[in-house]
Amino acid sequence: MLPSVDELHDACVRQLTQLYCRDEVPWVIGFSGGKDSSAVVQLVYRMLADFPAGKRHKRVHVIASDTLVESPVVAAYLDETLDSMQRGARAQDLPLSVTKVVPAPQETFWVMLLGRGYPSPNRFFRWCTERLKINPATRYIQSEIDEWGSVIILLGARKAESSSRAQVLENHHIAGSHLRRHATMPQALVYAPIADWGTHDVWSYLLVNEAPWAPELRLNSKLRELYRDGAGGECPLVIDKSTPSCGQSRFGCWTCTVVDVDNSMEGFLEVGRQYEWMRPLAEYRNKLKSYRDDPSKREKWRRNDPNRPRGWLHESGRQTSEQPTALDEDGYEMLGPFTLEVRMELLEELLHLQKETGRTLIRPEEIELIRRHWTEDYRVNEEAMLDILERVYGPATRRRDHLREERGLLEEVCARHSVDVLVVDRLIDLERGYVTKLRKRNLFQALDGIIEEWAAGDGAGEC
């Protein structure tokens, strides 16, 4: 006979209580906003609230991984949940903190795709997972390990989700305990409190018990509505590469091109007019997917191809199209990054989407990093980006006049000293990138590299 929901709940609370009281090792709960991680957070929150104040000795960290390209509908729900959770914990004086972890500025989706020209991710080249999810979570967890020597990571993983998830939960299992060792961080242990729960058990618990920090907000009821409106599974906190893709997830990225059809987005669009504003986002995502496998949108050489011509990336994709395309051992084309024209086109369309929807899709600091990559790859100056911004947002006369005045002075000085102005552009951009960094590691090596490249004639005459 299968255990009832109440029996599963009671057994889970007993395990949580024993584990909490056993030592001082802090907990880190991976929270995606989905049903499974919501159940885990709410179980732990109630346990802490029931403890006498003097026994709440151990810190609990709730971390949510924000890829900065989350589904806008889900992102709004997640923000509301996290904000109310933090307010509730403070009001009840619980040792629970809430943090959103985000990708490093140079590793965001748009900087990689529109700046460096990375092709849209697919299941063979899923470059997004490590940069957008694993690295941010790992940095946070490692900071706790550095302070405490160890951590216990709580996840909402369940055996009933799939055979692969059940296998992951059995890997590195520690005999005689409910814990397993983390695949890549030896000082971290992993605990899945609801591993034996079924989907029905999770929903039964959530719909009978509203979120304890703010029951009046009816967050669990809103969550149920999100699941009814969307389609697909949920995207857990990703802490290693054994976690499957979130491509079919409701709680994933709106830009996901790993799957053929974004069931989550399609599910929202089928519901009704309240989600119709998302249709242009779905069309943009489909364009990202189609551009990936279009050779005319890609450079003919990969960055790391030892046979590529010198200075090849300094020209546009249209101008390099006469170069023979590199082939792999099986004769398939080894396409390089998106061309400059494609990067510019996609950025301009994204900015139009941002303007029309009134939602933040790309941040100013990402646009600046994208511009720097264009300067690095194609030797274009700042006016190229300003042209795009003006077409979307209107004239920026003062900014353009200032740029032209500054440009005139720079060109005059460079001509006087017989120095290539575009090389100086790259040196200035490199220095700007280090302004906000406390440590200037590798700055001088990078400066030397630009100068040596120019001196060797790699693109110097072409600029």
For 354-367, what is the mean pLDDT?
Answer: 95
Contacting residues for 273 by C-beta, under 8 A, at least 6 apart: none
51: tokens are 């403890």
d(CA 339, CA 362) in angstroms, rounded, equals 20
Altogether, the residues listed in the chain come to a count of 463
Distance in angstroms between the alpha carbons of the first and the last residue of the chain: 76
For 130-158, what is the mean pLDDT?
Answer: 95
For 413-428, what is the mean pLDDT?
Answer: 84
Q: What pLDDT, on the 0 to 100 scale, is given for residue 399?
A: 61
In the chain, CATH 3.40.50.620 covers 5-222
For 165-182, what is the mean pLDDT?
Answer: 78
CA dihedral 174, 141, 69, 292 (to 10 degrees): -70
d(CA 325, CA 308) in angstroms, rounded, equals 10
For 110-139, what is the mean pLDDT?
Answer: 94
Asked if pLDDT for residue 56 goes beyond 70, the answer is: yes
Q: Which of 262, 268, 225, 224 is nearest to 246 (CA)?
A: 262
Q: What pLDDT, on the 0 to 100 scale, is given for residue 317?
A: 42
Q: Is residue 137 within 8 Å of residue 239, measured between CB atoms?
A: yes
Q: What pLDDT, on the 0 to 100 scale, is given for residue 311?
A: 60
Write down the pTM of the prediction: 0.81
Asked if pLDDT for residue 245 goes beyond 90, the answer is: no
User: 236 — alpha (psi -120 to 50), left (phi > 0) or beta?
Assistant: beta
Q: What pLDDT, on the 0 to 100 scale, is given for residue 176?
A: 75
What value, to the nearest 5°, has the Cα angle with vertex 171 and ends 168 and 175? Answer: 135
Please indicate whether residue 166 or residue 330 has the higher confidence score (pLDDT). 166
Please indicate whether residue 164 or residue 21 has the higher confidence score (pLDDT). 21
For 122-132, what is the mean pLDDT?
Answer: 92
d(CA 437, CA 428) in angstroms, rounded, equals 15
Residue 452, amino acid: E
For 436-441, what is the mean pLDDT?
Answer: 63
Longest CA–CA span in the chain (Å) reads 88
Q: Lowest mean pLDDT of 104-118, 175-189, 388-402, name the range.
A: 388-402
Q: Lowest mean pLDDT of 60-74, 393-407, 416-430, name the range.
A: 393-407
Sign of CA pseudo-dihedral 49, 52, 53, 56: negative
Please indicate whether residue 21 or residue 166 has the higher confidence score (pLDDT). 21
For 251-276, what is the mean pLDDT?
Answer: 84
CA 2 to chain centroid, in Å, comes to 39
66: tokens are 């924000």
Q: Which residue has the tokens 């403070």?
A: 90
pLDDT digits (tens, 9 = 90+) for 297-315: 999 888 777 776 656 676 5
> Which of 7-11, 172-176, 209-213, 415-419: highest mean pLDDT?
209-213
Asked if pLDDT for residue 280 goes beyond 70, the answer is: yes
**Band of pLDDT at residue 401, cut at 50, 70 and 90:** low
Q: What pLDDT, on the 0 to 100 scale, is given for residue 156?
A: 94
Asked if pLDDT for residue 319 goes beyond 70, the answer is: no
pLDDT digits (tens, 9 = 90+) for 210-234: 999 999 999 999 999 888 876 444 5
Q: Is residue 133 within 8 Å of residue 215, measured between CB atoms?
A: no
**Band of pLDDT at residue 13, cut at 50, 70 and 90:** very high
Q: What pLDDT, on the 0 to 100 scale, is given for residue 438?
A: 57
> According to CATH, what is the number of the domain 5-222?
3.40.50.620
Q: Lowest mean pLDDT of 184-193, 269-278, 367-376, name the range.
A: 269-278
Q: What pLDDT, on the 0 to 100 scale, is given for residue 9?
A: 87
CB atoms within 10 A of CB 335: 19
Asked if pLDDT for residue 68 goes beyond 90, the answer is: yes
> Which of 25-34, 168-177, 271-280, 378-387: highest mean pLDDT?
25-34
